[in-house]
Structure 1
Amino acid sequence: MSMELDVFVGNTTIMDMEVYQLWLDGLTVSDAVKVRMDEGALLEYEANAEVLTSDTMDQFRTFQMCERLLHSPTKLGSQLLYQIPAQNQRILIERYYEFDSVFAREVLGKKLSKGTKKDLDDISCKTAITLKSCRRQFDNFKRVFKVVEELKGPLVENIQRHFLLSDTLARDYAAIVFFANSRFETGKRKLQYLSFQDFAFCAGQLISYWTIGAVDSMVEDMDVDLEKEFLHELKDLKVLVNDKDMMDQHKMYDGCKHNLSRALINLASKLTHTKDVRDLFIDLVEKFIEPCRYDRWTVAEITLFLTHYTNAAHCLGTFRHQMIWDRYMGVIKSCILQMYHE
């Protein structure tokens, strides 16, 4: 029985991006072949199972050989071993560093160490993400953290420059780096309703307004560490607790059975302590969000309350800490509104 084959020779590395995704998802060759068959690959390519298996194995082998270059994306464009078009290079890098939000949520705020890596078996079972994919995502988190944690300059820009990621993905990685460094508490049961994107949004707010980089754009750890001087200055806001005019601003909110004003100011005054910084989100939930939820406040009502409350300090002629107040409440308001799920 004779068979005719069309053969061509070229130096461009052929990569099937659909197969690449199967490899990234951590599938074995046999599982990937089954998926391809279920999606009609045999009919599409007019091939049999043996040819499809051979092609899948060849593709997986190519991806594995390229993986070491993906660990340092800037080297991918300068190497000569694999002739990969620029557009494909961008896709390879972006997809390699993409991650599952549910996985990121499980490790967010934890130390990116061997201890956490040992928990990946449990995380894999919980999230239904293959262990191989969990390991790739975790190693990517760790790799990015290690490269950028002490670089000067904006965190997002550093991530983009060293890993060639899109702006959106770089910002998500910035949130992961920020949480890994500050070790915010994210695992308590009361915080489980919050998604990775909720925390990523809050991280962006903290990075933009509370870190050293918010006042100095060229210092080490500029977007990783909160500005200690600012946190210390927040203690000055304590004077508002005893200000009758500020307290009177909330008489119209009779439905609120908790002193929200006192809670927000007390929270600010405690942020000089590392533990209280780490407990920022649980404190916001317990001392503000839960009381509002109990009284069935809507997002619109909370927005009105926080806006009115923030502006009330501007009417106090004796209050001398307006800049600190606005810097604090701007972030607190944004985070609360993101975290409040009706």
Structure 2
Amino acid sequence: MDAVDVFIENRSCLDMDIYQLWLDGEIVEEICRLPFLTVQLDDTPSSKQILASYVADQVRTFHLLEKWLHSPAELADQPVFQLTDSCRTYLLEKYYTFDRQFMREILGRKFNKFRRKDFEDECRKTGVKLDSCYRQYENMRRVWKSVSAMDGCTMKNIHETFLLPDQLARDYSCVLFLSAYRMEMASVNLTKLPFDYFVSCAAEMMKGWTCTTQPSGPKGVSETLQANSEGASDLRIDKDFFYSMKEFRFLLERDAFESFRRAIGRNVPIQAALPGNPEIFRDSVRTMLTLALNVHHSKQFRLLFADITDKLLPAWKNAAWRNEDAVAFLNGFIISAEELNEFKSRDARLAGMWKRFFAVFNACVLRLFRTDEKPTVEFVIGQTS
């Protein structure tokens, strides 16, 4: 007669150590060999069998729970498992937590349907088990399908739909934003940068460049932003705003450009301190203006990070600029344009548009330029160091 293991419980008893191992992609046989489970066992066949049955029961329970983890709102109402509120919260947070190195590998990809074996390269590069890679990708894909069509703040929508903590919901929303526009992440200079750098940039873009950006500035700009923000999502770029950046094309005209460059030189005290700065200033100003004028093209926006790291930052690093130098230049860039007669004589909306675009752009530049994880200098509009 076949032996059957029977476990009878009232309130569900879940081993969270085994839960984490299951999430990591470990199988029952591998879990049973881990020292923290075997250290107190007698070295007898019966003890090993009891352990194997216990681990198998836990893993089986997690598989049964998984369908409700896919629909968090139903987890509290399901009648099969009696779970405390804190247990449900823990299960969901751990299930949707992702490995940042793995997520960096797939950042910017479109959320198509893939099979497990399609993640073998990422598994090999990151050391994350294949099943775990597949689960994390499917989680991201599930979140995308649920919230991509919703209006309003994506982080809030994820928090309310999947009951995730704010920080994790923010990370998900930033990944969705970068993937929605298939941002280029594979250039040589970008591959060196960690996941958190791009999350920081995406958060700035979602706050300042999307249709949900809060109204500010002159009346005309505020009315336009208010109209765009109604029924909009922060996963959608404000394309009208990007298109309007072409109005700054006059700054590339010879006289206006030279006036602008000289104004930056007056406002940035580091110009005389570093060798080669006149050339760096001229080339940097031209590059930043060109990127701003062309960002309305979908391809140029997709390549924005690559263009910043390939065309703008190498000269700064070759000149041994510090974070403080970059902050001074970027702040000087913003305030200097508004001093120009060519700028003052045009539409009053330009000042608000200029600040709105370059507040975000400069924050992204500074984030990608930094080599320290927690810099001591912050980017502040209108101040120079």
TM-score (norm 2): 0.82
Q: Distance in 2 between matches of 1:78 and 1:306?
A: 53
Matches within 5 A, 1:30-49: 30-35=29-34, 38-39=35-36, 41-43=38-40, 48-49=47-48
Q: CA-to-partner distance for each residue in 1:206-243, whole Å, 9 max, x for gaps?
A: 000001111344424x1112101110011112222332
1:280 maps onto 2:280 in alignment: no
Structure 1 residues 118 and 211: alpha-carbon distance in aligned structure 2, compared to 1, 3 A threshold: farther
Does 1:152 pair with 2:176? no
**Residue 227 (str. 1) matches residue 230 (str. 2):** no
What is residue 162 of structure 2 aligned with on the other side?
A: 163
1:248 aligns with 2:277: no
The one-letter code of the counterpart of 2:240 is E
* CA distance in structure 2 between the aligned counterparts of 1:153 and 1:124, rounded to whole angstroms: 35
* In structure 2, C-alpha distance between the alignment counterparts of 1:40 and 1:132, rounded to whole Å: 22
Task: Could you tell me which runs of 5 or more consecutive residues in structure 2 were left unpaired when the two chains were aligned.
Answer: 1-5, 214-224, 266-270, 372-385
Task: Return the alpha-carbon distance in structure 1 between the equivalents of residues 286 and 145 of structure 2.
Answer: 40
1:303 Cα deviation from its structure 2 partner? 0.6
Structure 1 residues 47-81: Cα deviation after superposition (integer angstroms, max 9, x where no partner): 93222211111100000000000001111011111
Secondary structure of 1:212 counterpart: coil
Shift in Å, 1:40: 5.2
Size of the aligned set, in residue pairs, is 333
Q: In the alignment, is residue 20 of structure 1 matched against residue 19 of structure 2?
A: yes
CA gap of 1:61–1:191, structure 2 versus 1, over 3 A, is same
SS at match of 1:338: helix
Post-superposition offset of 1:180: 1.4
Moved more, 113-122 or 139-148: 113-122
Identity of aligned residues (%): 32
- The 1:115/1:14 distance shift into structure 2, 3 A limit, reads closer
Deviation >6 Å, runs of 4+: 44-47
Where do 1:309-320 residues align within 5 Å? Answer: 309-319=333-343, 320=347
Contact 1:20 1:63 in 2 (8 A): yes
Residues 123-142 of structure 1 correspond to what in structure 2 (within 5 A)? 123-142=122-141
Structure-2 change in CA distance of 1:87 and 1:66 (3 Å):
same
2:357 aligned with 1:328, yes or no?
A: yes
2:350 maps to 1:339: no
1-side partners of 2:116 and 2:351: how far apart? 45
Give 5+ residue unaligned stretches, structure 1: 1-6
How many angstroms apart in 2 are the aligned matches of 1:68 and 1:115?
19
1:70 aligned partner: 69
Indicate how the Cα distance of structure 1 residues 45 and 178 shifts in structure 2: closer, same or farther if over 3 A, else same: farther
Residues 301 and 11 from structure 1, CA distance in 2 versus in 1: closer, same or farther, beyond 3 angstroms? same
**In structure 2, do the counterparts of structure 1 residues 175 and 249 end up closer, same or farther at CA, with 3 Å as the change threshold?**
same
Q: State the 1:119 CA deviation.
A: 3.3
Q: Distance in 2 between matches of 1:210 and 1:126?
A: 34
Offset at residue 311 of structure 1 (A): 1.3
For the 8 Å contact 2:11–2:81, the answer to whether it is kept is: yes
CA distance in 2, matches of 1:10, 1:58: 12
Give 1:118 shift.
5.5
Q: For 1:101 and 1:108, locate their aligned partners in 2 and report how far apart those are by CA, in whole Å.
A: 10
Secondary structure of the 2:40 match is: helix
Q: How big is the shift at 1:45? A: 11
Q: Following the alignment from structure 1 to structure 2, what is the Cα–Cα distance between the partners of residues 44 and 210?
A: 59
Aligned residue identity for 2:146: V
Q: Is the 8 A contact 2:264 2:332 kept in 1?
A: no
1:219 to 1:72, Cα distance in 2 relative to 1, 3 A: same
Distance in 2 between the 1:263 and 1:224 partners? 27
Using the alignment, how far apart are the partners of 2:38 and 2:263 within structure 1? Answer: 67
1:191-211 Cα offsets, whole Å, 9 max, x none, are 101111111111000000001
> Quick one: distance in 1 between partners of 2:263 and 2:127?
49
Moved more, 118-127 or 169-178: 118-127
One-letter amino acid of the structure 1 residue matched with residue 358 of structure 2: M
Amino acid of the structure 1 residue aligned with 2:21: L
Q: Note closer, same or farther for the CA distance 1:29–1:10 as it changes in structure 2 (3 Å cut).
A: closer
Cα distance in structure 1, aligned partners of 2:7 and 2:31: 26
Any conservation in 1 of the 2:264–2:336 contact (CA below 8 Å)?
A: no
